[in-house]
């Protein structure tokens, strides 16, 4: 809530306090808190600290995945962490593994977020046509995904499809997309 209210310094303190309260054995929870803390640090341009938080999150995700290798949400979050560290190829590999292992059961939450992440990683690698395909697949599974529509618009813009990009970005806005 503090991040949403743009009280970033207070949110960092809250994340730190939360990290103190979580048992050291709860690696999944700790990994997630380090990830959101890194995101909050990025928003206030504390990049070095954000990178350290993402690195801690990555280490904890690796440990948590060893404890529960079948948890696709852990792997998806590992992909997001790698993306935030600028390790786009590795992120892409993780998202592909998640999609391969997914049972593709409605409401497709894991699939959609993995496809969005895959699209983001592909876009970061300037592989915009492939990114567009990933976003289109996410939209086919979840037409109300504002993140997928936004990513699609950005990929279309990079491909020089200005009209399509405008429509996709408008749809993202109508669906409530927030960066």
Top-tier CATH class for 1-69: mainly alpha
Task: Summarize pLDDT for 112-136 with one digit per residue, the tens.
Answer: 999 999 999 999 999 999 999 999 9
* Superfamily designation of domain 70-179: Tetratricopeptide repeat domain (1.25.40.10)
Report pLDDT for 56: 97
Half-sphere exposure of 83 (CA within 13 A, CB side): 24
CA proximity to 135, closest of 117, 154, 116:
116
175, pLDDT greater than 90? yes
Query: What does the domain layout of the chain look like in residue ranges?
Result: 1-69, 70-179
Report pLDDT for 27: 94
14, pLDDT greater than 80? yes
Are the folds of 1-69 and 70-179 the same? yes
CA proximity to 55, closest of 24, 31, 27:
31
The model scores a pTM over 0.95: no
d(CA 77, CA 61): 8
Q: Which class for 11: exposed (0-12), middle (13-18), buried (19 or more C-beta within 10 A)?
A: buried
Report pLDDT for 151: 98
Task: Summarize pLDDT for 17-72 with one digit per residue, the tens.
Answer: 999 998 888 999 999 999 999 999 998 899 999 999 999 999 999 999 999 999 99
């Amino acid at each position: 809530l503090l991040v949403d209210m743009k009280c970033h310094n207070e949110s960092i303190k809250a994340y730190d306090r939360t990290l103190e309260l979580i048992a050291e054995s709860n690696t999944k929870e700790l990994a997630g808190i380090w990830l959101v803390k890194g995101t909050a640090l990025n928003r206030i341009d504390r990049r070095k600290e954000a990178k350290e938080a993402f690195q801690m999150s990555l280490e904890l995700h690796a440990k948590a995945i060893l404890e529960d290798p079948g948890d696709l949400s852990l792997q998806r979050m590992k992909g997001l962490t790698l993306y935030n560290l600028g390790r786009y190829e590795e992120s892409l590999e993780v998202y592909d593994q998640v999609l391969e292992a997914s049972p593709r059961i409605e409401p497709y939450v894991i699939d959609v977020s993995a496809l969005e992440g895959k699209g983001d990683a592909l876009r970061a690698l300037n592989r915009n046509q492939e990114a567009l395909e990933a976003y289109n697949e996410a939209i086919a599974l979840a037409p109300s995904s504002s993140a997928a529509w936004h990513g699609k618009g950005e990929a279309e813009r990079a491909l020089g499809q200005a009209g399509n990009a405008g429509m996709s970005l408008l749809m993202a806005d109508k669906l409530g997309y927030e960066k």
